[in-house]
Chains A and B, each alone.
Chain A
Amino acid sequence: MTESREEGVVTESRERGTAMGAKVKLKIWRGDAGQGELVDYEVEANEGEVVLDILHRLQATQAGDLAVRWNCKAGKCGSCSMEINGMPRLACMTRMSLFEPDETITVTPMRTFPVIRDLVTDVSFNFSKAQQIPSFAPDPSVGLGEFRMQQEDVQRSQEFRKCIECFLCQNVCHVIRDHEENMPAYAGPRFLMRITELEMHPADTADRREIAQDDFGLGMCNITKCCTEVCPENIHITDNALIPLKERVVSRKYDPLVWLGSKIGRRSHHDTPKVPGQQS
């Protein structure tokens, strides 16, 4: 079994040209907020490597100051998001064997966020959106260790909590990609999903459906599923988070009990308000 796998690897590297020490051609965006350009490099690549390995070798041998944001190199922290041949990806999970041997690999920073330097972008937009979503609100009378929840009930939100906050979904979402003007009114798939996660949390008591629509721009999402396609954690963002949230918002708007309650003053019409965050 193992031998056959090894053979497979050898074949792959022969076909793909990533045998030990082969050179690969790269075009890497270098520059800062002011200006920049694609710069050509040739870097050694070895069998089994990922794009981040190549960028590290480039730093160690040719471009010590090349700015790359990364941390775990294991697809778990979501730091090394960039665009590789135009596709939003994690550099640590993009294997070199994906490319043809003589293919030039173009690496650019995420387009939706302002560039800081080289491949590093300013993603503070995301942290300020996170600050505005009303937090988890459990029933305060439940004591430590007294929560009782069933696995099937926690599972739905658990899927969304797999999110590693790489912000690739935010980067690819056409509502804000090339449409900076929409950013103040739109939280993006990551944070709409965060709202769904809280709404589906079995122990949460707040209601965020109205602000999802009014303050976080749920209505601007027209479910093209680009976010789902780029998610490195394979979270079904559109089908499991965004569409169900839209359905919940609609059901609340047209729920006759909510309507009646608001008329006779027995139930508040408004849900938890958005928290004012600082704009960075």
Chain B
Amino acid sequence: MTDITRLPYDVVVIGAGGSGLRAAIEARQAGKRTAVISKSLFGKAHTVMAEGGCAAAMGNVNPNDNWMVHFRDTMRGGKFLNNWRMAELHAKEAPDRVWELEAWGALFDRTKDGKISQRNFGGHEYPRLAHVGDRTGLEMIRTLQQRVVALQQEDAREHGDPEAMIKVFAETTITRLLKDTSEGPGGSSPQDGTARIAGAFGYIRETGQFVVFEAPAIVLATGGIGKTFKVTSNSWEYTGDGHALALLAGAKLLNMEFVQFHPTHMVWPLSVRGLLVTESVRGDGGVLRNSEGKRFMFGYVPDVFRAQYAETEEEADRWYTDPEHNRRPPELLPRDEVARSINSEVKAGRGSPHGGVFLDIASRLPAEEILRKLPSMYHQFKELADVDITKEPMEVGPAQHYVMGGVEVDPDTGESSVPGLFAAGEVSGGMHGSNRLGGNSLSDLLVFGRRSGMGAAQYLDALGDKRPVPGDGEIAAAQAEAMAPLERTVGENPYTVHSEVQDTMSSLVGIIRKEAEIKAALAELEKLRERAALVRAEGGPAYNPGWHLALDLRNIMLIAECVAEAALQRQESRGGHTRDDFPGMSPEWRKVNLVCSLGENGRVVLEKKPMPPMREDLLALFDPAELKKYLTEEELPQEPAQPPAQDTASDGEEKS
């Protein structure tokens, strides 16, 4: 390989989904020269797949809603394992972030009085999700994309070049983060967690050319890890890139055992198994039935939620029109509960013909209303499965959908333990605890995308002239690593190895886990790791998917190992981590974050870190009787503290 192009920027955002674009917009608005690295074309990121909506306590539909209710719902959904500061910032700032999208041209569905309409969703006490039919993610990505274009138009007028201040590198993949070698004797090793970030190394898909971004601040916004599992609603891009890049650069990953299996995906035809069926179907009145026609969710309401959910079908049905005097239908329990219940029904032999359960909206709403509220779902079932959802029930089952675990970051700035390295969105950890509520992802992307963009800009301001310099040795090593699969004359097919990793993870570290199986998975991963390191990609470097997969495999393997190791350690069941051999939730384990880092030998190391105690005014938002279900005796408040004053405004700049 000849010369590598070097591109200097202030901030490099890796990922062009909701959080990446929001971070880039913020960094550019703060006057920083910003590059956005997109693994696919601009505007195609996985955010487009989000259907239901964006949770924000605007109170447009039910005026009783406010950030405190949203905060409570989020903590309950995450079974109190959430980073409470993140949950607080998220609940407080989400409304402004949604309104901001509107000011950038987004067209949400409206209420009768012309405000942004909000819909019901699992785990949310009030109708809270701003939405556009069932294509909310597309609206969000398009709005952010168009906001980037609007900024580029300003720059074209001011600088004569639309890309002077913000440029999107489409179909570009980063394979290594680079560290600073300007300080200290002999520079630093890539895994030295104290050395500063200096840039990123990657390739441009179209040509296979390598490129080095020289930048003091990097924001990871790469999304999730779905392609570690076989049945997933995630696209090919979700190979845990940001998670792995962070580990390899010396940062830490939090609570990787918590993987969300969203309860409703298509199960048939096989080729679309894993295609998402939005939770809005249930939010808008759809119910789950087993092969006996029974609404089985009434039998699965766990103790911690019993007070908030209806016990009879009659009460549940009344709730849609009179939520003040009735409790919610159990179909709207948080996702982990519904997914486990479906799993149990299928295992008990009460499933649908293709191994799912029935999701029935046809008997619940008039056809025209279904078409208006759920157009994409209608389209999807009609075109791919010959099912008319206005006439017959859908067959649905759980699939991997989201990872709650991710890079450990400072809640206010998104900065990781590595100076100059930030993370936002799905790749970051903490916000959602052990289980994410539907609708809290799109709002998370906006709130923490913006905060990490601000954080990166502030980091640069503090840096002054002391800009880091990536080392030639690291760049050469990154290049050799990337070229290796193309240069091998013998080696396994990367597709085969990938498929076996997915099989292993899905069957042994899936929705229900037990010690012996996780150990078997780890043994299997050990062998796969060696095979993955020796795969061969046929063909050349230009737009070669086999080569790209060979490079992604390193990330997939690392993340699979983190998930399995953490799943083995956590001896309890909570949210997106269910241990058959430890079925209960343990208050002792609630106080523990499991943190992954990379040891000297490149292997995953796990440590237990105590969960910081919740601030008293936030604790006071909960009924002590509810807290008792989650916290240990010592953690319970001694005397009732004062809840925070009614405050619906954002406290954007507040630090605590």
List the interface of chain A (C-beta within 8 A of B): 1-3, 5-6, 8-9, 32, 46-50, 53, 59-61, 64-79, 93, 95, 116-118, 120, 122-123, 127, 130-131, 134-136, 138, 142, 144-145, 147-151, 154, 157-158, 161-162, 164-165, 198, 201, 204, 234, 275-278
Contact = CB atoms under 8 A, between A and B. Distances in A.
B132 interface: yes
B272 interface: yes
Contacts of B539: 64-65
Interface in B273-319: 275-276
Contacts of A61: 495
B103 A144 contact: yes
A65 B379 contact: no
B539 to A, nearest CB: 3
B495 A138 contact: no
Contacts of B641: none
11 contacts: A32-B542, A49-B270, A71-B237, A74-B272, A77-B48, A77-B49, A95-B384, A116-B543, A136-B105, A136-B146, A161-B142
Interface in B195-249: 206, 235-237
B544 interface: yes
Contact of B352 (A2, A32, A157): A2
Given A72-B46, A136-B105, 13 more contacts: A2-B392, A5-B392, A46-B270, A48-B271, A49-B270, A50-B272, A72-B44, A127-B42, A145-B99, A148-B115, A154-B107, A154-B109, A275-B157
B546 A64 contact: yes
B96 interface: yes
B472 interface: no
B654 interface: no
B386 interface: yes
Nearest to A54: B271
A1 B392 contact: yes
Contacts of B546: 59, 64-65
Interface in B157-192: 157, 161-163, 170
Contacts of B109: 151, 154, 158
B386 A275 contact: no
B380 interface: yes
B399 to A, nearest CB: 12
Contacts of A275: 153, 156-157, 162
Given A59-B545, A59-B546, A74-B380, A64 B135 contact: no
B139 A53 contact: no
A176 B461 CA distance: 48
Interface in B350-391: 352-353, 376, 379-380, 383-387
B278 to A, nearest CB: 11
Interface string B20-62: 0000000000000000000011111010110000000010000
Given A65-B540, A76-B48, A76-B376, A136 B272 contact: no
Nearest to B106: A161
B406 to A, nearest CB: 21
A147 B48 contact: no
B153 A53 contact: no
B493 interface: yes
A269 B538 CA distance: 60
B62 to A, nearest CB: 16
Contacts of B100: 144
B544 A65 contact: yes
B106 to A, nearest CB: 8
A50 B41 contact: no
B113 A148 contact: yes
B150 interface: yes
Name which of A53, A65, A93 has the most chain B CB atoms within 10 A of its CB.
Answer: A65
Nearest to A167: B41
Contact of B132 (A67, A118, A158, A276): A158
A78 B552 CA distance: 23
Contact of A135 (B149, B494, B544): B149
A276 to B, nearest CB: 6
Interface in B499-547: 499, 537-540, 542-547
A44 B142 CA distance: 37
Name which of A59, A66, A71, A95 has the most chain B CB atoms within 10 A of its CB.
Answer: A71
B635 to A, nearest CB: 37
A164 B48 contact: yes
B584 interface: no
B138 interface: yes
B152 interface: yes
Contacts of B494: 64
Contacts of A116: 206, 542-543
A134 B537 CA distance: 44
Nearest to A166: B44
The list of the 5 closest CB pairs from A to B, nearest first, reads A48-B269, A65-B539, A64-B546, A136-B105, A148-B114
Contact of B235 (A1, A49, A71): A71
Contacts of B99: 144-145, 147
A234 B375 CA distance: 11
B268 interface: yes
B626 interface: no
A76 B138 CA distance: 8
A77 B542 contact: no
Given A67-B544, A158-B132, A47 B156 contact: no
A122 B547 CA distance: 20
B387 A72 contact: no
A161 B543 contact: no
Contact of B275 (A53, A74, A118, A161): A74
A149 B110 contact: yes
A151 to B, nearest CB: 4
A12 to B, nearest CB: 8
B96 to A, nearest CB: 6
B150 A157 contact: no
Nearest to B392: A1
A278 B235 contact: no
A33 B157 CA distance: 34
B104 interface: yes
Interface string B252-275: 000000000000000011111001
B493 A64 contact: yes
